[in-house]
Amino acid sequence: MSNAVLEPFADHRGPLTVEDDFLVLDDTIEQADFTEPVLGDEQGCLASVLMVQGMYCAACADTVESALQGVPGVRSAQVHAATRRLVLHWDPAQTPLSRLAQTVGKTGYRLLPLKQALSISERLAETRKALWRLFVAGFCMMQVMMYAWPAYVAEPGDIPADIDQLLRWASWVLSLPVVFFASGPFFSNAWRDLKLGRIGMDTPVSVGIIVTFVASSAATFDPLGPWGEEVWFDSLTMFVFFLLGGRYLELKARDRTAGALDHLMNRLPQMADRQQPDGRFETVSVRRLVVGDVVRVQAGQVFPGDAELLSDGASVDEALLTGESEPVLKRRGESLVAGSFNLAGAALVRLTQIGAQTRFSQIVALMEKASTEKPRLAILADRIAAPFLVLVMLAAAGAAWYWWQIDHTKALSVAVAVLIVTCPCALSLATPAAMLSSAGALARGGVLVRRLQAFEALSRVTAVVFDKTGTLTHDRLVVSGWRVRDGVDRTALERRMLAMTGGSLHPVSQALARHLEGRELEAVPELQEVAGQGLLAQWSDGARWRLGTWAWCGLSPADEPLGQGASPRVHVADASGWLATIDLSEGVREDAAQAVAALKALGISTHLLSGDRAHAAQGVAARVGVDHVVAQATPEDKLAHVKALQAQGWRVAMVGDGLNDGPVLAAADTSFALGHAAPLAQAQSDFVVQGGAVMDVVNTLLLARKTLQIVKQNLLWAAAYNAVCVPLALVGWMPPWLAGVGMAGSSLWVIGNAMRLTKATNPSKG
């Protein structure tokens, strides 16, 4: 299908139909938002991340996966129940994506691009349907309870038979919309699963609803028949209402747990104002923008791509990248990043990177991989859930048979209660709900989680290994001290030094230029830079200045006023000799010592691995308080040291930022990449600390421990709930309506407990 045919769909502003979805999925321009090539063994295949609409549990995820298995062109399909995301590896040469969407559609689910699925219109439509069903069930339940109440409080014979029968008929009529409308999702999901030869979580619920309604209807039509005189319309409508209420609250809660991730990933605008050659602006889809386009971004809007600022200035919120909400003032010519907010006034920018090449897209890719991963505990729970449902059906049948021998009027309510109360929803949600809540909280604070499984590993860490440069220190030198010859005008000295260093890319020159920024500079007619030595300047007054090593400046070691030390130094000299000496040092991150002290307080051993010289590494270690130092370490040495620690029983977290940290980041039990780390370092790490704050490592570790506590609480609750409620249902002490309350309540408790983590933006205080 050609892009020309699909062009009208690219800028579609309204809600799309199902047929439109298939066209959008096959549009290569639209696919760029949710599809990327797969490298390695699956070269030639594409990987797409789509939202599965209509699912809510582990059994639903299993159904979608099973529908795609064995389909020509499908290499793998994995669905995450908590986020409803499908990760699909497929071969475009064998099948179009629309055909795979149709295959999933036959099972009752709908595949949507993430931006469309997360759009306001889609969310409102889904919420509106859920509220209508809940309203119908609640309204009818109250009316049925009103008609059933006299039978509970009246003595035998108080209600005439004709009035009693009239109340039953009224209850039956009011139960019809509950069964045939409000309960629709239960029946459609159960029927879909049965057609595929599976038992889903809605199967026992649907069986319970149908059996209760049929038996109560039979008793209403023929009070003297084999089903007796008992009717359960009140229990039926009540547990449907509670189940729908639980599902609705669960939906909203899950939106909140994964909402932080969804909000960040859906941050870019759909449309942008592009400047035309005549200076006018046209509104176009951001997918139609190309590098070099000039775009106008209004106050409160998001920059659609990485860009260069053309306006005089702009106030920008870059919290997505740094975790800091303080506005950043940008000047003309400075760079802007996609996904950041323009806070004040319209800004004119020229796009330098768009689409997958932007920093924002790299962040989204990291977050998508995390949100589609199944943690080990969640996989185990999903495996338990499927056979558990079979046992539920067998237990309900056994209970019905047993009670039929004793009291056939009670057999129905016991069987229905067992079917409803034993739904394993809470078990399946226990782990992913907690981990996604934590991932969302960290994302708001500028820490991206690449692997949800890393929470479990991080919670058990006993040793943290740091790289030095760019991790505990800034990746640049800073001026730490001055010594100037007596009688030298320091102001004039600084002006000339700024002129000499301003055009050099050497780290020492850049450190001096940053330190002297803002001072007036004196024009230098001639300037020469000699690699490895320093700078030579010829001034208009005839003076010749040298800036660099003591040898370059013509000084002997004895001439150096402070002697030779471990810290890097740069000297300035003229024809008469020494003028000044400037001490330089690696700028230790402001919170490095605090972070190391916090780790020690938690009983965690700290190590520093550096390729730098011993005195430099030991100096940084002493300043921040690290216990163990290994200097002049090659990447192989770092890897060997981490493996040696692991062999001794330590659980190691590695914190680094450079290309040479890739192997050791991958080998550690869990790992962090700090700041704008090299792509390889980010690819091998479990957590990416956007702002570069070392304390974020500590806070993430504390949150990981709290997350595992919540997971254990959720799993314990799910187990305890079934251990208590199943026997109560089997012995007939739990009516169907109470079983519905218990089933909904258990899932809500798990979600609510996990939601406590969404507020843990600073775990060290929580």
pLDDT band at 675, cuts 50/70/90?
low
Q: Which amino acid is at 479?
A: V
Angle at which helices 233-257 and 161-177 cross, to 10°:
30
Q: What are the phi and psi torsion angles at 607 (to 5°)?
A: -135, 150
- Cα(625)–Cα(645) distance, integer angstroms: 20
Domain count, the chain: 5
Q: What is the pLDDT of residue 82?
A: 59
Domain CATH number, residue 540: 3.40.1110.10
Specify whether 283 is located in the same domain as 396: no
User: Are 335 and 444 in a shared domain?
Assistant: no
Q: Are residues 595 and 691 in the same domain?
A: yes
| Assigned domain for 728 exists | no
Banded pLDDT at 2 (limits 50, 70, 90): very low
User: Does residue 756 lie in a domain region?
Assistant: no
Kindly report, residue by residue over 166-225, the tens digit of the pLDDT: 888 999 999 999 999 998 888 887 887 777 777 766 777 788 788 888 888 888 888 776
Q: Give the pLDDT of residue 563.
A: 46
**Structure token digits, residue 763:** 């775990």
User: Which of 362, 396, 412 is the last residue in one of the domains?
Assistant: 362
For 701-756, write each residue's pLDDT tens digit. Answer: 999 999 888 888 888 887 788 788 888 888 878 776 677 677 767 777 877 787 78
Q: Give the catalytic positions in this structure.
A: 467
Query: In terms of domains, do 300 and 251 share one?
Result: no
* 285 and 304 inside one domain: yes
Residue 116's CB is within 10 A of a number of other CB atoms, namely 23
* Alpha carbon distances (Å) from 238 to 136, 251, 735, 740: 12, 20, 11, 8
Based on the domain organization, do 208 and 103 belong to the same domain?
no
* Distances 391 to 200, 395, 425 between C-alpha atoms, Å: 12, 6, 15
What range defines the domain where residue 456 resides? 435-473+589-705
Under 8 Å between Cβ of 173 and 147: no
Closest CA relative to residue 635, chosen from 616, 654, 663, 614: 663
What pLDDT, in 10s, does the model give residues 320-364? 555 455 677 788 888 888 878 887 778 889 998 887 777 777 666
DSSP lists the bridge partners of residue 571 as 548, 581
CA–centroid distance for 321 within its chain: 14
CA 609, 615, 620, 622 dihedral sign is positive
- Final residue of a domain: which of 362, 395, 410? 362
Give the pLDDT score at 603.
92
- The per-residue pLDDT for 56 is 62
Same-domain status, 578 and 593: no
pLDDT of residue 725: 82
- Decide if 723 is inside a domain: no
**Pairing outcome for strands 687-689 and 670-674:** parallel
Q: How confident is the model at residue 699 (pLDDT cuts 50, 70, 90)?
A: very high
Q: What is residue 108's predicted lDDT score, i.e. its pLDDT?
A: 73
Q: What is the mean pLDDT of residues 6-28?
A: 48
pTM: 0.59
Residues 63 and 165 in one domain: no
- Do 321 and 406 sit in the same domain of this protein? no
Asked if pLDDT for residue 684 goes beyond 80, the answer is no
Amino acid at 94: Q
How far is C-alpha 710 from the chain's CA centre? 18
Residue 454 lies in a domain: yes
pLDDT at 13: 36
**In this predicted model, what pLDDT tens digit does every residue of 375-428 receive, in sequence order?**
555 555 556 656 766 776 777 778 778 887 777 667 777 877 777 776 666 666
Q: What is the CATH number of the domain that holds 95?
A: 3.30.70.100
Q: Write down the H helix ranges in 97-183.
A: 97-105, 114-117, 120-153, 161-177
Selection from 517, 514, 516 nearest residue 506 by Cα = 514
- pLDDT confidence tier of residue 657, bands split at 50, 70 and 90: confident
| Per-chain mean pLDDT for the chain | 77
Kindly state whether residue 755 falls inside one of the protein's structural domains.
no
CA distance 291 to 289: 7
595 confidence band (pLDDT: 50, 70, 90): very high
Within 8 A by CB and 6+ apart from 483, the residues are 561, 562, 580, 581, 582, 583
Model confidence at 531: pLDDT above 80: no
Given pLDDT bands bounded at 50, 70 and 90, which one contains residue 451? confident
pLDDT value at position 367?
A: 56
Q: Classify residue 719: in a domain, yes or no.
A: no
Angle ∠(42,46,48) on CA atoms, nearest 5 = 130
Q: Is residue 720 part of a domain?
A: no
Say what percent of the chain tops pLDDT 90.
Answer: 8
**What does DSSP assign to residue 83?**
T
Q: By three-state DSSP, how is residue 400 classified?
A: helix
pLDDT of residue 59: 62
- Quote the DSSP letter at residue 469: B
Tell whether 284 and 146 lie within a shared domain.
no
- Helix H, strand E, coil C: the string for 548-596 is ECCCCCCCCHHHCCCCCCCCCEEEEEECCEEEEEEEEEEEECCCHHHHH
Q: What is the CATH number of the domain that holds 653?
A: 3.40.50.1000
Say yes or no to pLDDT of 549 above 60.
yes
Residue 716 falls inside a structural domain: no
Same domain for 630 and 538: no
Rounded-to-integer distance, Cα 59 and Cα 55, Å? 9
- Are both 629 and 648 inside the same structural domain? yes
